[in-house]
Structure 1
Amino acid sequence: MSISAISPFPDEVSIREALAKGTLILTATQRLSRHLTQTIGVRDFKVGRVPTILPVDAWLVQTWRSLSETHKMPQRLLSASERDTLWRQVIESEVTENTGFSLVQPETAVQLAGRCRRAVKDYVVPMSSDRVRSHFESEADTRFFLQWLTKFDMRLKAEGWVVAEDLAEDITAHNPTCSEDKQRDVWFLSEEPPVPSLEKVLLGQFKRVHWFRSETLTYRLPTQAFDSRESEIRGAARWGKEQHDAGLASVIVLSDYQQDRALLEHHLRAEFGVQDQVFTDLPVNFSRGIELSKVPMFRDLLLFCRLVAQPLTRQEVTALIRSPFFFVNDDDRAVRGPVLSRLYASKRGSFGLSQVITALSQVAPGSPLERALSRARADRLHHARLSASAWCERLIPLLQEANWPSASGLDSLEYQQADLIEAVFDAIEINPVAKDVLSLGTFISGLKVALDSQLFQPKTDISQLQVMSLGDTVGLNFETVRIVGASAERFPQKASGLPLIPWRICHEFEMHEVMGDCQRLVSSRLLMQLASLGSVVLSYHRIADGAHNLPSEFCDVPSNGVESIAYKLVEVDSVMSPFADERGLETQVPTEQLGGVSLLEKQAMCPLKAHLSHRLDLRALESETQGLSAGERGGLLHKALQCFFTGMGSSELINNISGGAMAALAEEAATMALQSLHSTVRDRVGLPYLEVEHMRLVRLLITWMGIEKQRTIPFVIESLESTFDWTCGGLTLSLTADRVDQLQNGQQVVIDYKSGGSHSASDWHQSPLKSPQLPCYSQLLKNVGTIGIARVGGSDPNYTLLGGAIGLSAADTQSEKAMATAGVADLSELKDRWGQELSDLVRGFVEGDAVATPSANACRYCDFKIICRAHLSEASDVIQESDDE
């Protein structure tokens, strides 16, 4: 006897009649079971047998529990998290002994092994058969899985445990010869056929078994095409609002529910005008809850625990520091930015417990997070090995000290989430599998599994508008349907595959997980069911990740494509008024302003950049750096030059030093420069990198000494890295001159070191002034006759000068040409003009000038592009042309 397949799905009248006759209705999903129970009202039946509508999984559990009371069967049904814990133990023990397995992610291996064992049980693969086992032994990965499977089954048998995929087999093995159900019919409502193990148990339990399914789709469905995923989902949200307003029972079906749900909710909130309101104000029902591990509150809890056990990435540390569940008042929240700035300033790619505690203790000493992390470090929890219950006892007070989850600031939805933590820890403590002592990392993995298995679904009013995956719609009726993501790549879904089961076994037993046609057939039936009862429209986006997307085979799209559907933006009823924001906050003078020359250079380049950086004190977080950053290498070069020329204070000493003495002095200067690095920087880059940097510095110093030796005009080094205070317009800036030389005629040469790049003397004499740094010193020093940039690094080390000669033929010639172009005989003639332009720059900053002036140089390394109001299309073209050159 076999199960008979009947199409189409029965209607409610037929189901009511079957229930009246005592038929058992089994559904593929809990949602369909609940829907039928509510719509048909089984409590109203006046028959001897209570009519039953159950999800098939619930029926298996119910039947197994009944049989286990009278037969010698396993007495403990493991939950999903307990099953995963057992798999994790088996795999970890096996991987420790066998390093040849190809999977390197333990959690991936756990999930994959669980899927493959379920397939073996569902399709009744005889694992005791020598032929079957020989197939598993043929490849390394499948051989390892066979070893895992053997140990997993031995552990289940030894402990008296059973998992969900074993229920059908156990029921079949202990099926009584005479049962009341033998005289009963059963209807199985599912678009997918029952797997062999289920088919076997149903046929053994019941008189007749009927499998109801829909017909397959015989035509293509109307389709809309969009240019991007964003526009497609925005269009679906607009459509949902229209259907809701019309009072129609509607559903938005997401082909990739996990990926698209959050974006769809965002746009639905915008359409319904409830962006800043609580979850329950959105009149939409989502078919699936959110895994607790993905809820922000518990996501941050996991980050906190993981930080105690191992370093976190930049993104993870940022999420933890910014978490509202670990800071309790406004003062604490105000320190998040400075804490992150201190961490990012180290330019590390990841941060351990000590680095985070150090940053917190410097910025927010005594904060709940700092106290809790310090306690965890003092207790050396990252080295401890405890039982699961002991870990719960240690972590709960630690979380309380961190003030998680900051209950005073929770909304009603977050209170519901916080109430679930006790149930999660209880599930971990009573887990019969996790009885051994565990490292903190292993416990955290188990905690994540427990959070993954717990879904959070807030109670909301029943709405006419639903959001589901396609599989959730089985047996449900809707007046209008919108299916999002109907591309050839995503719809129907591709077969997921079972890589730990040999290909021959998969095909021999016709496992649906690897049969692409089965996925297509099920999708076709689900579409037919929806289309037979309501209006169905598909949509897809034509560009994904820069590549063209093709429509699904179910889409009715002409061969030449369709017009893009573009919804108009919501029109604003009020009249829009222009708002000029080129003026920022004024600076109260007199005052000492941080920033020095950098402020003037940014003001000359782009006033908006100067205002954001120095008036509003906005700073971009430092990016991760492998080795030393460009700024750090430049700083080392400045320090090495300072140390080098401290012992070489005149041209006479420079010219008379021997090659050996020069090399020794360069070695010593490079060493002193590297010793000036902060310990955190040295730890980050490592000794081998610093040794290479030492060689680079020595080479640059010796090469530059060759340039200095060519100077024919004697000089004395007057100062190195000297600091000056310059006041202009009530604003006092602190300036540092890299080096000042004095020539025989008493004229001063102000030198600025650069490690690379191109520089032009025209930046100093053209109006407006582009490079104000060196002209500033003409306002401070009395006898400045020459200003110059010393290009110490790069392929062409030399001077770029403006002013009198310093005894370098090529550089002096270029300086003479620049002076002629400027129309001046000496630098003193530019002093007044520079004074006026510098005053204008200071006045603009003080008055709050915040005009964006895009250019290639201003925009290339700008941190404020996200808030800049200028249209940068032309500037981008300039930058591109400059880069091409």
Structure 2
Amino acid sequence: MTDSHQRVSSAAADGALVLTVNKRLFRYLRDRFDQYMLDKGKSVWSTPLIVSYEAWLSQCLSDLGESWRLLSHHQQQCLWEEEIATSSRGSNLELLQLSKTAEKALQAHQLLNQYHLTLDNQSLTEDQRIFHVWQRRYRKRCQEREWLDQSNLPDRIIAALENGQLQLPEQILLFGFDQFSPDLLQLLDSLEASGSSCEIVTVEADDAKMMSFAAETNHKEIEFAARWVRSLLDQKAKSIGVVVPDLHMRRRQIERIFRQQIDPVSTISLDGDDSIFSLSLGGSLVDQGVVYAALECLGLGRQITLDQISFLLRTPYLGGAGSEADSRAQFDKKIRSFRQQKFSLSGLLNAIAENSELEIFSNILKKLHRCQQDNDKHFPGVWAARFSDELYTLGWPGDRSLLSSEYQAIKAWQEKALSVLVSLDRLLPPIDRKRALNLLNRISGDIEFQLEGSAGPVQVVGLLESSGLHFDHLWVMGMGETVLPARPQPNPFIPLKLQQLNDMPHSSPARELEFAEQVISRLKAASPDIVFSYPLRDGDCDLRPSPLVPFCTEEDRPTFAEFNDLSSLIQSSHQPLSKKDDWYGPSLHKKFVEGGTGLLKDQAHCPFRAFVHHRLHAQGFSEPTPGISPMARGDLVHLTLEKIWKQLQNRNHLLLLSDQERIDLIQLMAENSFKLYFKGRSVPVAELLKLEIERVTILIREWLEKVEIKRDYFQVLETEKQHIEQIGPLNIRIQIDRIDQLENGRCIVIDYKTGADLHAEDLLSKPLIEPQLPIYAVADSKSAVDGVVFAKVRRGESRFIGVVKEKGQLGRVRDLLSYPQAKDLGVTSWDELLLFWQQQLAQLADDFVAGKATVNPYDLVKSCQYCDLSGLCRIQETDSQAGVTDDC
């Protein structure tokens, strides 16, 4: 225990009042005092008068019987937002970010109060004049209601001292203050005048061992600090501090890396409540899973996004999450297959109605639907009670036993967030549901949540929170030149000259330098063993250390433990690894499998993809797209063309139609196709449907007029007819978009495509990566197929692409002999092509049945660019196709 801490504990034992700069120092000194009394041999002692300065002011107000007058921070913020919103309504100021503006305005108001200043008779900018109006109205409202905010308390306590209304200890100590505002100095003078002896306790720096350390990046700096901590823990160090200036921004990264290096088991533990280190800056309450789930459920509207639906299905914090887990996962996959970004609650209920295994989830959706019917306005407290009741009916926080951290988060949300919402009753008129939810979200976001329990030997704290603390070992990270001294950030609502004349915080470079020097001086006294670190680079920018970091003459570097994260431990393991190449799954015994021609296409592109998709039945989730998905658009074009040709049947009937009749036919068939397609699906908005019908009508009109009319006579024999064909040992279900019979009786197989990337050469590849058209060509000899083509139905690019037996059979479609790929394969006739296709298809079927699952893509672009399994096969970790099989 340092001399200053000894002084504080001794004075507290004698009944002195000790005021700390923050709550963390208050807890720290209370722990120190308890240890001090134990060292004195005491077993029982009175609670010392150690309290944070802010809490002491509030207690004094309570002693005066006026605690009802004090506005909390959230109440002040709410009042400022109300004032700004009312004053700005109907003007350009409505574009302001209300919450951020209110925050800056409240900060300016408190600064002016602390420095006993006013903006009267000051030269103001337009923004400052507007703020001045806001402040006058805010003060008037507070005076009318006799409200006080935190910045008014010192003046109220001074007045009470002058009137003899407060009884104070003879001795008052202030500890941990880097700076003193004018209102605090005035209060100290008043305390002295009232007979109390006030003493500012400072910590004198001893001869500390100091080192500086440069890390390559921010990430490396955190990693080195964690390994340094680990080495000290291995030496049984009892008090280790890590100071991080921007802890609020880097909290998640620091927590992750420190857990990996210091407590790796906690990274895979189901209960992460206990750890041997703690971060002083707890996360936001809204980031706690159980609270986030509550706010997500309450905030659902009549239109729900796919992400929101998926969250409801996956969260463990709703009723039935355990018993319906598998069914909800299956429904999550199903709902994603619709590729829609938004769903109506009623539409979602219809989609789930036939699933008896989702009864609990269906009831949850019905309850959510009923909750949204309340469009009335209520006081915030009424909304708090309603929100609590709604969550109870939804089964929140779930059926499973809660972790300690979850229990504490629920308790904090109920006692802090909901209670703050109730406290706004005296400030706000009745509000609607949306406003109440916005307030509750912001309140939950502002509340800092930190797990209860004793802190371990390692404390990670922010720069200001470290004030007054003492450690056996201390690491101060992030000491770059842009951190200390920081750049000035004057408040925009107070004239800069007024701020600088009164030496307000963040008002000038000189003020920031003075504060930075005080902080460095204080840090030097915080430990006998200190490391100051800084990163050398941030992205592409080179960084330099702060000029205030002491120059260290020690040549030795800090001692670091070996990497302790699980990944490094596994890699450094000396256990011999055996390598075995096994690219075959079990053989397939049944002949008919689902998947159709897509199965053989996957097998050709990559055997691994075929095995995962069609043997393991595993696929990536479908991604939603704005409006109607490209897949749905393609299906609608297919369906419309099918209906058109079922009615027309041949080219002559098409020619008999006038231009207007043709347009009317396309329009009618498109409308019927859309009705049929969206029957049983979530229907897009009417405006979007109208636009899509118009788009399909224009597209098909172009196709008919620029391609079909210009052809020679043809008869449409089949459209969208399904066949089951035997390919090698497999029975494959195929669906041919269309088969045309030419005037000479020969047939052309047509496959509609609406995409841009089409290559006829893919019909002549080895392996055969476009098997659909060849399957029919070799499977049905009765049809006398003389050509297989893609019908590219695309605006401005409509044409046939493929291969025909003889030149001129289908316009400009190339014949077999015009393809150099055919020559490379040794295919010189149509019969040889049919034989080649037959062999390729049979080989693909044989490989699939044998269980071949090699990661061996046909082409890294064609096969892998849009594949959903890249994260599973890790194809991108290889440098070339040749290394795929060996490395995966």
Deviation at 1:125, TM superposition (A): 1.9
Query: Residue in 1 aligned with 2:55?
Result: 58
Cα 1:553/1:359, change in 2 over 3 Å: farther
Query: Residue in 2 aligned with 1:630?
Result: 630
Matched, 1:810 2:826: no
Query: Residue in 1 aligned with 2:115?
Result: 123
Cα separation, 1, equivalents of 2:513 and 2:29: 26
Tell me the SS of whatever aligns to 2:93.
Answer: coil
Cα 1:608/1:644, change in 2 over 3 Å: same
Cα 1:817/1:856, change in 2 over 3 Å: closer
**Counterpart contact for 1:20–1:51, Cα < 8 Å:** yes
**Counterpart contact for 1:710–1:808, Cα < 8 Å:** no
Deviation at 1:172, TM superposition (A): 2.6
Matched, 1:590 2:576: no
Unpaired stretches in structure 2, ≥5 consecutive residues: 884-888
**Counterpart contact for 1:802–1:815, Cα < 8 Å:** no
Tell me the SS of whatever aligns to 1:749.
Answer: strand
Deviation at 1:283, TM superposition (A): 0.8
Please give the residue correspondences for 1:427-446 in structure 2 after superposition, counting only pairs within 5 Å. 427-429=420-422, 431-433=424-426, 436-446=429-439
Cα 1:410/1:19, change in 2 over 3 Å: closer
Residue deviations 1:336-372 (CA, integer Å, cap 9, x gap): 4344345544545455644555555565775445423
Cα separation, 1, equivalents of 2:660 and 2:29: 94
Please give the residue correspondences for 1:656-671 in structure 2 after superposition, counting only pairs within 5 Å. 657-671=657-671
Counterpart code for 1:247: K
Deviation at 1:863, TM superposition (A): 1.9
The farther-off stretch of 789-798 and 541-550 is: 541-550
The farther-off stretch of 193-202 and 816-825 is: 816-825
| Aligned match for 1:244, one of 222, 233, 237 | 233
Cα 1:203/1:75, change in 2 over 3 Å: same
Query: Residue in 1 aligned with 2:332?
Result: 340
Deviation at 1:707, TM superposition (A): 2.7
Query: Residue in 2 aligned with 1:736?
Result: 735
Query: Residue in 2 aligned with 1:678?
Result: 678
Query: Residue in 2 aligned with 1:195?
Result: 181
Cα separation, 1, equivalents of 2:166 and 2:697: 91
**Counterpart contact for 1:800–1:815, Cα < 8 Å:** no
Deviation at 1:719, TM superposition (A): 1.0
Query: Residue in 1 aligned with 2:531?
Result: 537
Cα separation, 2, equivalents of 1:871 and 1:50: 63
Query: Residue in 2 aligned with 1:290?
Result: 283
Please give the residue correspondences for 1:395-794 in structure 2 after superposition, counting only pairs within 5 Å. 395-424=387-416, 425-429=418-422, 431-433=424-426, 436-452=429-445, 454-490=447-483, 493-532=486-525, 533-544=527-538, 549-554=543-548, 569-570=568-569, 571-580=572-581, 582-584=583-585, 587-593=588-594, 595-654=595-654, 657-678=657-678, 684=684, 687=687, 690-691=690-691, 694-695=694-695, 697-712=697-712, 714-728=713-727, 731-782=730-781, 783-793=784-794
Please give the residue correspondences for 1:125-274 in structure 2 after superposition, counting only pairs within 5 Å. 125-126=117-118, 129=120, 131-132=121-122, 135=124, 138-139=125-126, 141-176=127-162, 184=170, 186-207=172-193, 209=198, 211=200, 222-248=211-237, 249-271=239-261, 272=263, 273-274=265-266
Residue deviations 1:788-819 (CA, integer Å, cap 9, x gap): 12223265433223232353453245665465
Cα separation, 2, equivalents of 1:454 and 1:289: 9
Matched, 1:841 2:835: no
Tell me the SS of whatever aligns to 1:463.
Answer: coil
**Counterpart contact for 1:182–1:206, Cα < 8 Å:** no
Cα separation, 1, equivalents of 2:212 and 2:585: 50
Cα 1:725/1:183, change in 2 over 3 Å: closer
What percent of counterpart residues are identical? 21
Residue deviations 1:73-108 (CA, integer Å, cap 9, x gap): 67432333333343444344444x343216544333
Cα separation, 2, equivalents of 1:123 and 1:81: 23
Cα 1:458/1:772, change in 2 over 3 Å: same
Counterpart code for 2:788: I
Deviation at 1:305, TM superposition (A): 0.7
Deviation at 1:325, TM superposition (A): 0.7
Counterpart code for 2:735: T
Cα 1:183/1:617, change in 2 over 3 Å: closer
Cα 1:785/1:395, change in 2 over 3 Å: same
Deviation at 1:825, TM superposition (A): 5.3
Cα separation, 2, equivalents of 1:498 and 1:708: 71
Cα 1:446/1:548, change in 2 over 3 Å: same
Deviation at 1:857, TM superposition (A): 0.5
Residue deviations 1:739-784 (CA, integer Å, cap 9, x gap): 1011234322101122243544432234222211111112432222
Cα 1:602/1:215, change in 2 over 3 Å: farther
Tell me the SS of whatever aligns to 1:192.
Answer: coil
The farther-off stretch of 15-24 and 421-430 is: 15-24
Matched residues, number: 852
Deviation at 1:301, TM superposition (A): 0.5
Counterpart code for 2:54: D
Counterpart code for 1:631: M
Counterpart code for 2:241: V
**Counterpart contact for 1:74–1:160, Cα < 8 Å:** no
Tell me the SS of whatever aligns to 2:434.
Answer: helix
Cα separation, 2, equivalents of 1:474 and 1:829: 86
Counterpart code for 1:867: L
Deviation at 1:145, TM superposition (A): 3.2
| Aligned match for 1:856, one of 852, 861, 866 | 861
Tell me the SS of whatever aligns to 1:751.
Answer: strand
Cα 1:183/1:868, change in 2 over 3 Å: closer
Cα separation, 2, equivalents of 1:824 and 1:22: 103
Tell me the SS of whatever aligns to 1:801.
Answer: strand
**Counterpart contact for 2:273–2:404, Cα < 8 Å:** no
Cα separation, 1, equivalents of 2:335 and 2:144: 50
Deviation at 1:197, TM superposition (A): 1.5
**Counterpart contact for 2:15–2:169, Cα < 8 Å:** no
The farther-off stretch of 745-754 and 410-419 is: 410-419
Cα separation, 1, equivalents of 2:314 and 2:392: 18
Query: Residue in 2 aligned with 1:801?
Result: 802
**Counterpart contact for 2:178–2:467, Cα < 8 Å:** no
The farther-off stretch of 314-323 and 477-486 is: 314-323
Deviation at 1:323, TM superposition (A): 1.4
Cα separation, 2, equivalents of 1:521 and 1:791: 72
**Counterpart contact for 1:786–1:827, Cα < 8 Å:** no
Deviation at 1:696, TM superposition (A): 5.9
The farther-off stretch of 684-693 and 25-34 is: 684-693
Please give the residue correspondences for 1:294-305 in structure 2 after superposition, counting only pairs within 5 Å. 294-305=287-298
Cα 1:548/1:368, change in 2 over 3 Å: farther
Cα separation, 2, equivalents of 1:658 and 1:813: 34
Cα separation, 2, equivalents of 1:583 and 1:491: 61
Cα separation, 2, equivalents of 1:414 and 1:30: 23
Query: Residue in 1 aligned with 2:886?
Result: none
Cα separation, 2, equivalents of 1:876 and 1:541: 38
Cα separation, 1, equivalents of 2:493 and 2:588: 68
Cα separation, 2, equivalents of 1:382 and 1:849: 59
| Aligned match for 1:374, one of 366, 372, 383 | 366
**Counterpart contact for 1:751–1:788, Cα < 8 Å:** yes
Query: Residue in 2 aligned with 1:5?
Result: none
Counterpart code for 1:386: H
Deviation at 1:543, TM superposition (A): 4.9
Residue deviations 1:817-864 (CA, integer Å, cap 9, x gap): 465565445433333432332232233333433322241111111222
Matched, 1:865 2:870: yes
Counterpart code for 1:241: R
